[in-house]
Structure 1
């Protein structure tokens, strides 16, 4: 099943968000059919804040590293790292990915013009027609123009520009989600919401649920808990065995070898 089709299966697509190769591998090993990336996690591993256009090169490298995975990968490209639609499209064309998230806000926490964002989407779809473009609407995330009407106005413009899906992080109210999904003709994506199951979100019309930066932040918490457990003489939390993770990384490295190198070795 391709990435587009996964949004139309029996229940919402749960997309876990990785920040490096090992995190993607553990999601894949547990059976997730597709994997996303988190710009927060990628930026944080570089010691940079999210949304500051600091992940441009890191995302290219990560997308390249994940391209050997036997599943679709969607890359979070912040705002596309440029105000120029042609530059954004050229960057996206260089990613080895099945989809992208692209947001309509800046690192300074302001919403960009919906016409500018729509132009980026159009340029991307003209350059990469088969790419699943998930257009992120940050009205509720930033608490700016956080109304159903304003959100739908932006989202509709992005769909008309060619977006394959709409991501509305921060929207959690059931009545809001029901109205958004009823009015938009493409899959609506939300962040995982505490206390609301996939079945609950499906009943509201949601077709995709992302974990966002939560796994990365949970991993940091687990790392601190582990160190503290050793310090305090308490049992340490569960962890993937070293040998298992090393074996996964060896297999991944083998899968990424250039075809010519594999042929030479075989000969």
Structure 2
């Protein structure tokens, strides 16, 4: 599938675009078979399946996992590649192309320290990725101001506009309060990605509030693992022998 197909889904009549987050090939196939038009890999979910903490997955392992997910389905896949793993724009675009991903998230903070990247430097990096990829990649520029404790929309909008000028297709102000989504979308002028969280607004409501696309981070993986935990505990209880009298 092409980036053009994924890009078009951001502007369809049935907004928001719902992008489940597969953590392996099997979960990807489940979501594709359920009829979702595209998928968005979560770095944290994949990290957990590979035995790593979020942000600690070696790039080769991450790209191998993305490749397996893409290979399992026939719908577009966009990949969370964190801050790019220190790769050059050319290397990053090449690795994504080799994996078959037609989109990516690129975040603007240090994963470990939650220190924001200089926005002009981030915009320059995004422009380099765009120049290398041309139209072959849907770039979702993550804005980490809310994650890093910067309140309000002013700095998020400033960063978003810089990233839009650099060639981003959409922006992802992660953890933005849902009531601010419409203001962010209007101020930045690009489709806005919202994170669906347990206990928060449903994906459709996030669309009503201003989101053009909705992703789930690691939450679907965690819900699946909670179900596995419940099953394991039931199995344990079934085979546990009562104490002898």
1:2 is aligned to 5
Q: Aligned to 2:192, which of 188, 197, 201?
A: 188
Q: State the alpha-carbon separation in 1 of the partners of residues 18 and 219 from structure 2.
A: 13
1:150 is aligned to 155
Q: Secondary structure at the match of 1:154?
A: helix
2:147 is aligned to 141
1:25-78: CA deviations, max 9, x gaps?
1101111110111100111122221123x2411222123223332100001000
Q: Aligned to 1:57, which of 60, 70, 75?
A: 60
2:23 is aligned to 19
Q: State the alpha-carbon separation in 1 of the partners of residues 207 and 228 from structure 2.
A: 33
- TM-aligned CA deviation for residue 134 of structure 1: 0.2
Is the alpha carbon distance of 1:195 and 1:79 closer, same or farther for their aligned partners in structure 2, counting shifts above 3 Å?
A: closer
1:87-137: CA deviations, max 9, x gaps?
544544444111001111112221111122212211111111121000000
Q: Secondary structure at the match of 2:55?
A: coil
Q: Structure 2: where are the runs of 5+ without partners?
A: 240-245
2:182 is aligned to 178
Kindly indicate whether the alpha-carbon contact (under 8 Å) linking 1:89 and 1:123 is maintained by their aligned counterparts in 2.
Answer: no
The total of aligned residue pairs comes to 231
Q: Aligned to 1:38, which of 28, 35, 42?
A: 42
1:199 is aligned to 204
Q: Aligned to 1:229, which of 234, 239, 242?
A: 234
Q: State the alpha-carbon separation in 1 of the partners of residues 16 and 231 from structure 2.
A: 33
Kindly indicate whether the alpha-carbon contact (under 8 Å) linking 1:39 and 1:55 is maintained by their aligned counterparts in 2.
Answer: no
Q: State the alpha-carbon separation in 1 of the partners of residues 175 and 87 from structure 2.
A: 24
Is the alpha carbon distance of 1:87 and 1:112 closer, same or farther for their aligned partners in structure 2, counting shifts above 3 Å?
A: farther
Kindly indicate whether the alpha-carbon contact (under 8 Å) linking 2:194 and 2:213 is maintained by their aligned counterparts in 1.
Answer: yes
2:243 is aligned to none
Kindly indicate whether the alpha-carbon contact (under 8 Å) linking 2:70 and 2:101 is maintained by their aligned counterparts in 1.
Answer: yes
Q: Aligned to 1:28, which of 23, 27, 32?
A: 32
Is the alpha carbon distance of 1:64 and 1:83 closer, same or farther for their aligned partners in structure 2, counting shifts above 3 Å?
A: closer
- TM-aligned CA deviation for residue 205 of structure 1: 1.9
Kindly indicate whether the alpha-carbon contact (under 8 Å) linking 1:134 and 1:167 is maintained by their aligned counterparts in 2.
Answer: yes
Q: Structure 1: where are the runs of 5+ without partners?
A: 235-267
Kindly indicate whether the alpha-carbon contact (under 8 Å) linking 1:75 and 1:100 is maintained by their aligned counterparts in 2.
Answer: yes
What root-mean-square deviation, in Å, do the aligned CA atoms of Structure 1 and Structure 2 show?
2.0
